[in-house]
Structure 1
Amino acid sequence: MKNNAPRDSDLYKLGEMIDDIEVAMMTTHATDGSLVSRPLQTLKIDANGEIIFFTAAKSHKVEELTDDSEINLAYAHPGDQRYVSVRGRARMDRDEDTINELWSPAQKIFFPDGKDDPNLMVLRVRVRDANYWEAAGNFIARAFDFARGMLDEQPSDLGKQGHLKG
């Protein structure tokens, strides 16, 4: 994933936290008001505070996002005990410069006609804010802290939680 956010910003930290998590679960509101989640490959976080994906114009999410553009992105790296929840607003376009920049041969699986596939759209999520949770130390240290917390009166340091602004 490309991280073009300004280095001294919360958005850059967000980009670092999700950099090695290839897939986000995007949650939207279905037409009946219920919640629907689906996986999307994160391609870039840009200097404007948008996380960028490719999507199919013929997918249900396009209709859902037309009705209500508020979304949630969930990222998880269980091996590192790192979790991120992003709130934002989605929009779609067919910006050729973005498509050319982020296109890879693997995208042909989803868009057989390549960059010119009429079904290919750029999905941009403007980050409103994000919450994250990170565990402290490695697995053994976390297990020790957890066990100590069960025996002690004092809570254990199992990691940190934070809030990032878009």
Structure 2
Amino acid sequence: MTEEHERLWEIISDMPACMVTTQDGDVMRARPMATFIDKDARTIRFVTDNGSAKLSELADDHDLCLTFADTKSMLYASVSGKGKVSRDRDLIRKLWGPYCDVFFPGGADEADVAVITVVPTQAEYWDNDKNSVAMAYEMVKAYFSDDGPDLGGNAKLSM
């Protein structure tokens, strides 16, 4: 794995949620979801209600996009990939935690849930490496020059 790929997984692993975008007929539809990042397996998972519209949307079109944002640190990532749905109870038990207890009654063995596993195909991140004073300097410098601000790294990756 390249250093840029490693950095992508670091960035998204520190964010507890992202926006999941699917194709809903003729429109794109996004909603926030808690993430279960498995850096070693290179997958991102979500536990969702078994009756969720996301599942029928994924049955029609497996492509989806995940967007991550940490506005305080100015870290952003976009991950495109294929989504697969599983109702495997062992996997549900593996992912189950306090977040799931809040949203899905019945516990890991009883809740009417499914797991969406995303296998990334492409990703991009924006990595701010500046503190707030340095950011302010970059913005002022850009305002008074023809150059844009240097706000850190950006990488577009094939996965």
Q: Same fold (TM over 0.5)?
A: yes
Post-superposition CA distance 1:74-95 (Å, at most 9, x none): 0000011011000001011122
Letter in 2 for 1:139: S
User: Partners of 2:45 and 2:72 in 1: how far apart?
Assistant: 25
CA contact (8 A) 1:136 1:142 kept: no
Gaps of 5+ in 1: 1-6
Q: CA deviation at 1:19?
A: 1.6
User: Partners of 1:82 and 1:136 in 2: how far apart?
Assistant: 9
1:91 counterpart = 2:91: no
1:20 counterpart = 2:14: yes
SS in 1 for 2:122: strand
Q: How many residues align?
A: 159
The equivalent residue for 1:119 is 112
The equivalent residue for 1:129 is 122
CA RMSD of aligned residues (A): 1.9
The equivalent residue for 2:64 is 71
Identical columns (%): 31
Mean alpha-carbon deviation: is it higher for 138-147 or for 155-164?
155-164
Q: 1:12 to 1:92 in 2, by over 3 A?
A: farther
Mean alpha-carbon deviation: is it higher for 9-18 or for 88-97?
9-18
Mean alpha-carbon deviation: is it higher for 42-51 or for 127-136?
42-51
Which of the residues 42, 56, 67 maps onto 1:49? 42
SS in 2 for 1:158: coil
User: Partners of 1:9 and 1:138 in 2: how far apart?
Assistant: 22
CA contact (8 A) 1:136 1:157 kept: no
Q: 1:141 to 1:46 in 2, by over 3 A?
A: closer
Q: 1:10 to 1:56 in 2, by over 3 A?
A: farther
Gaps of 5+ in 2: none
Q: CA deviation at 1:132?
A: 0.8
User: Partners of 1:74 and 1:33 in 2: how far apart?
Assistant: 20
SS in 2 for 1:47: coil
The equivalent residue for 1:29 is 23
Q: CA deviation at 1:69?
A: 0.9
Q: 1:82 to 1:105 in 2, by over 3 A?
A: closer
1:107 counterpart = 2:68: no
CA contact (8 A) 2:9 2:39 kept: no
Q: CA deviation at 1:28?
A: 0.4
| TM value normalised by structure 2 | 0.90
